[in-house]
Each structure stands twice: as C-alpha cells, then as structure tokens.
Amino acid sequence: MKLASLRDGGRDGTLVAVSRDLQTAVRTADIAPTLQIALENWDQVEEALGLVYSALNEGRADGAFDVDISDLASPLPRALQFLDGSAYLPHVERVRRARGAEMPPSFLTDPLMYQAASDGFLPPAGTIAVASEDYGIDFEAEVGVITGDVPMGATPDSCDRHIRLVCLINDVSLRNLIPVELGKGFGFMQSKPRSALSPVAVTPDELGDAWSGGKINLPLMTHYNGELFGQPECGVDMQFSFPELIAHAAHTRPLSAGTLIGSGTIANQDESRGASCLAERRMLEIIADGAASTPFMSFGDTVRIEMLDGAGNSVFGAIEHIVSRYDGP
Amino acid sequence: MKLASLRDGGRDGTLVAVSRDLQTAVRTADIAPTLQIALENWDQVEEALGLVYSALNEGRADGAFDVDISDLASPLPRALQFLDGSAYLPHVERVRRARGAEMPPSFLTDPLMYQAASDGFLPPAGTIAVASEDYGIDFEAEVGVITGDVPMGATPDSCDRHIRLVCLINDVSLRNLIPVELGKGFGFMQSKPRSALSPVAVTPDELGDAWSGGKINLPLMTHYNGELFGQPECGVDMQFSFPELIAHAAHTRPLSAGTLIGSGTIANQDESRGASCLAERRMLEIIADGAASTPFMSFGDTVRIEMLDGAGNSVFGAIEHIVSRYDGP
C-alpha cells in the first residue's frame, strides 16, 4: 500500500492512496481523513485502505485522479516526533573525522539518535528556504519508518510489528552551524531545520524481498544538480536495524503512533558507491587531496533523492528540492 | 484566561476553561474541541473563550462543573514540539560542575536549548513510571510558554506577541543516563523521558504585573516528599527571556502553533532559595561536604511543583507526581 497527503485540507493534509506506479490517487476520507488519524487507528483502517489501494491499482477506484507531485505534502505534513538515528557508521566516522573527532567503539553497540524537528516537514518537491549560504547548506539522503504506538521498554524482537510505513527523508543540514550547536552538548537545534519526506510512504510489503531483517536492501540514489552523486546500498553497513533503532528510542518512554524514525545518512564503506550528503564527499576529498573542493549548496542548487526497485520503478517517488534565499519574516 | 484539557475525548483531550480559583470548569467544544485546535485558530477563538472564562468566574456559565485535577491531562496532552531551554545559568553552572565540566563564556550570550519529547506529556497528577531506580530519577521544576505560529527568523522584539499561554513543567530527568547520552553529542534522548505540564495553562495577562519583560516574576515552589525543597525566583537569574528563547528556536526554521518552549530548571545564585531538582542540591552538598547525601528519587517518592501569586493563590494548580516502578510492556 502506498499512502500520501494532499497539501489541501488543513495542517495534516488529506490522506490519499496512491497507485503502485505513482500515477493515480484516490481520497480515503471515508476511512481516515489524515495519515496521522490512520496511524492512530491502524488496526481498524488497514484492511479498508488496502481494498481501496487494490481497486486503484486495478483501475476501478471511484474518484481516482492523476497525481501531481506538486500537490503533495510530505505523507505526514507534520508529526509528533522525529527521532533520527545515525545507523550507517561509515557516515558517522567520516563526518566526525571531518571535524577532528574520533568514533568511540561504543558506537558499534549503542545507537546514535537525536530528537529532530517534526512540527512541520517540507513538501517532497519544492524549495528549501535558507537565510544564508554561509550556513553550509547540505542534504542528507536517508530512509525512515513511521511507527504505530510503541510501549516503553519494547525489545528489538518485538519492534518489527510496530513499523507501519517506510519512506525516504531529506534531512536538511546546516553544516557550518553544527560545531557550535554540538559544542553546547544539547544536540543539533539550529543546525537541523525542517526536513522533507518522500511523496509517498509505503507499507513494508510493498518492498517485497527488499525488506528483510528490518532493513531495506536497495540502493538510495541521490542526484545533485542533475548528476548522479551517490547510490549506496541501504542494506549494507547499517549497524542497527529499524527494530533496533525503535527499541533504542523506546527504552525509557513509549512512542506515539506517527513517530518517524530515521536511519541517518546512507553510507557504505565502499567509496565507489558515492555519498548521500556533501559533507561526506568533502571528507573524502580531504583524504584524497588534502582539501575539500566541493562547496556546500548555493541558492539555485538542486537535489533529487529516489529509490528504484529491482525492476527500475520508483518506490516512493522522488524528493526534488531547490535551495532558495529566505528573505525574512 | 485559564485553560486545561480533560483526559477523555481522545489523544488531544477535551478543552475546558477553568475558573481563576481553579474550582470549576466548563467545556468549550463549540468554540474549539482541543487546545491544539484553539492554538491553531487563536485569533478566531480567543474572544469567545474569554467570554466563557468571564462567565465561569462570575458563576453564570452553562454546564459548569467542579474540577477534579485527577481528570485532567496536561493542557496539551501531546504537542508537536517541546524545545527546552536552560536559561538559568546558576543551574547550568552547577550541573556542569557536578559532571566536571566548566561553563563556557558563550553561554552568557548563546542560549542552550534541546529538542525534547513532546509526543505525549504525563498528566499533571499521577505517577512517573520508571523501570529502574538506578537511572537516577530526578524532577526539574520549570516554567514554559506555548506559542502560536512563529515565522523563521523572528526577532526577539517580535516574539512576545507569539506567546499564547504560560504553564509549569516537570521535566523528568534520568541523571545516571545523561553522561552516556551527552557523551555521544546528540542530546539527552533516553535520559529525558516524558515530562508533564501544570493542570492549567494561563494567558500572560492572568499573571498581571508578575509577567514583565518576557519573564515571570514569582517564585516557583517545589516540595519533595512533603517538605519545601526550593522556591527560587523565576524573574531572577533568567539569562534569556522567553521572547529571546523563542527567537533562538526560530532562527533557522518556523515554529508551529502549539510549540512548548521551556525555561530550564529554575535556579538562583542565592542558594538560600533552595533548588528545583535533586541534581542541584547534590552539587551544593558536594561543595559543602565533599559528597552528596541526598539520593535521587526512589519508588514512592513524591514531588509537588506549584506557583502562588502575590495573594497566595495557586496560578496553575499543582503538579503532583509519585515515582512508581514500570514493570515492562
């Protein structure tokens, strides 16, 4: 099942089912008006949504219409919680090396995770407005899962069944603000503004065999200014599976339905797969050449993040962003 | 105006106006069913809510009933965002000293703030369930403001008008988990489980002259196991006002209506005012005696957090918690 939210209909958007080929959609207001409400009542709505989705794929859904990505908000236009892990240790190791820090061995067993902004997500297609290029504007291509209600103390073994949906994330980062924020010890705050999700979120079964062990075994493709920038394998070098990340998040508190858990920037030890953020490419340049030659994003630069299945079809639709200047309130 | 949420009515509760003396309440479903919806539509609902509040105080509100604090959720039973500052530098300085860290001079000009859990708040009266006393269970008595929509880049001067409501917070902390989490550099995560708000949230005008300069000029009283533990002045030693904290939070992103901004633990340089958390009392014991004699909370320990106005009346009602053992999912 593939679900999305139209921008209209209020702050939570309007829930629609989207066909597997991402071409058509149908409103599901009679089942659940918003994705958040669907997630809060999943056991009651899942079957009905599945029937609509089947009808849509078979061309027999009443009220089906052609989807225009520009009409879509993020599937959750806002969420109660976004906990972003950093499960790909090649990324962690390189980014830390870039700021002169080593990776402690405990990172192999104790997941990195921070509480990120979730009060609003950017639309999957559109602008990232930033006040200054001096902030060191960067993208981070990630995958994420959206959970149902998770009880406090849930074990990793039990967390697979709390995963409702899978999506892509562009975790927008302001690299030059990170050192000061992390230096204060309280997390990223100003250095991580609003992120965006992929046009659609999908149930794990949509991934078929590519979903196994609580990981996605497909590459995540990033294009930067129209050129292929990276396509690391999401199933490789992910130190902690999504169920493990969920259990980590729920260790001392329950998680509410609609919680987004991010994987962290996808990165492989195999450098030939390219990178999923500029910071990492810059680090590789420093290692090779002694200095970074790739600048951070300028106004007008574009990024496209997409995942294709084994047959070459887009699973989630593409995140497509252009950076623009924010002129103030 | 004093507003609260009944626990019944769904995940966002049911909005009620509460009388100034905290004795009676009336449902406001015909104006806004939940506080979140009221905050999203403040300009449209403020006047009507005010009329109901006046009628309630004058004993002429239809449907008024006696309030039982145990029927109340936190005014926002869940929120899209909780950004907790740490504006009282005596607290920051002492807690950092307790873990062997100094306070950098930049903390005088650059606010400390972290993104905290907001997907659910504990009720104002009831239990704090924790799996182990070994976590170092602690309370933190704070004040907070709930904002309307705040545009990205809003200046401190403009942020006073985005403050909709004021409340108290018990920011539950697990002290023995903090060193590991902060050591990873990504914030508190597992060491800060769910917090709770006071029974009612109030518009700033309810504070009269005690609200000035974006600060509350009243002491915040904490009782621990029935004994007065601290009553520091909230208007003293607050390095950053609420408008300044809001502007800090909104520097690189907009804030959605319903954002909770916390002050951080109230603390004064004047040690005779007592403390608002156990960690701070323990630090003062270490300075005086070479070792901490006050343990962290055990199962069965209670904390009460309340603010009285100049006439000795409770402004927000009391947060009253007892720590209990969490037996697992």
- How far is residue B320's CA from residue B239's CA, in Å, rounded to a whole number? 28
| B208 touching A (Cβ < 8 Å) | no
Residue B100 has pLDDT above 90, yes or no: no
Structure tokens at B213: 């300069």
B115, B158, B180 member nearest A117 (Cβ): B115
pLDDT at position A94 is 84
Structure tokens at B267: 């603390």
The chain B residue lying nearest A183, using CA atoms, is B185
Q: Would you tell me which residues 133-162 of chain B have a C-beta closer than 8 angstroms to some C-beta of chain A?
A: 135, 151-154, 158
Residue B98 has pLDDT above 80, yes or no: no
Tell me, rounded to whole angstroms, the distance of Cα B273 from its chain centroid. 19
Residue B48 neighbours by CB under 8 Å, 6+ apart: B28, B31
pLDDT at position B97 is 77
pLDDT at position B323 is 98
List CB contacts (< 8 A) between B259 and chain A.
Answer: 119
In a mutagenesis test of the A interface, which of B112, B114, B172 is the best target, namely the one with the most A β-carbons within 10 Å?
B114
- How far is residue B201's CA from residue B197's CA, in Å, rounded to a whole number? 8
Summary mean pLDDT of chain A: 96
Residue A192 neighbours by CB under 8 Å, 6+ apart: A116, A117, A171, A172, A173, A174
Place of tokens 């999908």: A202
In a mutagenesis test of the B interface, which of A121, A184, A191, A194 is the best target, namely the one with the most B β-carbons within 10 Å?
A184
Q: How sure is the predictor about A91, in pLDDT bands with cuts at 50, 70 and 90?
A: confident
List CB contacts (< 8 A) between A255 and chain B.
Answer: 119
Mean pLDDT value of segment A213-232: 98
Q: How sure is the predictor about B90, in pLDDT bands with cuts at 50, 70 and 90?
A: very high
Q: How far from B302 is each of A140, B48, B111, B126, B227, CA to CA, in Å?
A: 44, 38, 31, 10, 10
| B189 touching A (Cβ < 8 Å) | yes
Structure tokens at A35: 């994705």
List CB contacts (< 8 A) between A177 and chain B.
Answer: 252
Q: Percentage of chain B with pLDDT > 70?
A: 99
List, for residues A97-123, the tens digit of each pLDDT value: 776 778 888 999 999 999 999 999 999
List, for residues A288-309, the tens digit of each pLDDT value: 888 999 999 999 999 999 999 9
In a mutagenesis test of the B interface, which of A146, A186, A248 is the best target, namely the one with the most B β-carbons within 10 Å?
A186
Q: Would you tell me which residues 40-79 of chain A have a C-beta closer than 8 angstroms to some C-beta of chain B?
A: 40, 78-79
Residue B99 has pLDDT above 90, yes or no: no
- How far is residue A61's CA from residue A114's CA, in Å, rounded to a whole number? 41
Mean pLDDT value of segment A145-171: 98
List, for residues A247-290, the tens digit of each pLDDT value: 999 999 999 999 999 999 999 999 999 999 999 999 989 888 88
Tell me, rounded to whole angstroms, the distance of Cα A62 from its chain centroid. 31
What DSSP element (H or E) covers A45?
Answer: helix A42-57
Residue B238 has pLDDT above 80, yes or no: yes
Q: How sure is the predictor about B271, in pLDDT bands with cuts at 50, 70 and 90?
A: very high
- How far B277 CA lies from chain A's nearest CA (Å)? 19
pLDDT at position A48 is 98
A154, A191, A253 member nearest B117 (Cβ): A253
Cβ(B134)–Cβ(B105) under 8 Å? no
pLDDT at position B121 is 98
List CB contacts (< 8 A) between A120 and chain B.
Answer: 80, 254, 256
Q: How sure is the predictor about B111, in pLDDT bands with cuts at 50, 70 and 90?
A: very high
| A309 touching B (Cβ < 8 Å) | no
List, for residues A16-25, the tens digit of each pLDDT value: 999 999 999 9
List, for residues B28-78, the tens digit of each pLDDT value: 999 999 999 999 999 999 999 999 999 999 999 999 999 999 999 999 999
- How far is residue A123's CA from residue A167's CA, in Å, rounded to a whole number? 13
Query: Of A119, A151, A173, A140, whose CA–CA distance to A11 is shortest?
Result: A119
pLDDT at position B220 is 98
Residue A235 has pLDDT above 80, yes or no: yes
Residue A185 has pLDDT above 90, yes or no: no
- How far B118 CA lies from chain A's nearest CA (Å)? 7
A115, A151, A256 member nearest B115 (Cβ): A115
Residue B121 neighbours by CB under 8 Å, 6+ apart: B73, B74, B76, B77, B78, B79, B194, B195, B196, B197
List CB contacts (< 8 A) between B133 and chain A.
Answer: none
What is the DSSP annotation of B173-220? EEGGGHHHHHHHTS--GGGS---EE-S-EE-GGGGGGGEETTEE-SB-
Residue A243 neighbours by CB under 8 Å, 6+ apart: A156, A157, A158, A159, A160, A163, A214
Q: How sure is the predictor about A182, in pLDDT bands with cuts at 50, 70 and 90?
A: confident
| B110 touching A (Cβ < 8 Å) | yes
Summary mean pLDDT of chain B: 96
Query: Of A138, A142, A139, whose CA–CA distance to A166 is shortest?
Result: A142
Backbone phi and psi for residue B281, each to the nearest 5 degrees, phi listed first: -60, -40
**Cβ separation A256–B119 shorter than 8 A:** yes
Mean pLDDT value of segment A207-221: 97
The chain B residue lying nearest A149, using CA atoms, is B119
Cβ(A106)–Cβ(A252) under 8 Å? no
| A81 touching B (Cβ < 8 Å) | yes
List CB contacts (< 8 A) between B193 and chain A.
Answer: 152, 252-253
CB atoms within 10 A of CB A33: 17
| A24 touching B (Cβ < 8 Å) | no
pLDDT at position B156 is 97
Q: Percentage of chain A with pLDDT > 70?
A: 99
Residue A162 has pLDDT above 90, yes or no: yes
What pTM value is reported for the model? 0.97
- How far A306 CA lies from chain B's nearest CA (Å)? 25
List CB contacts (< 8 A) between B326 and chain A.
Answer: 152-153
Q: Would you tell me which residues 279-308 of chain B have a C-beta closer than 8 angstroms to some C-beta of chain A?
A: none
Query: Of A179, A187, A184, whose CA–CA distance to B105 is shortest?
Result: A184
Residue B235 has pLDDT above 80, yes or no: yes
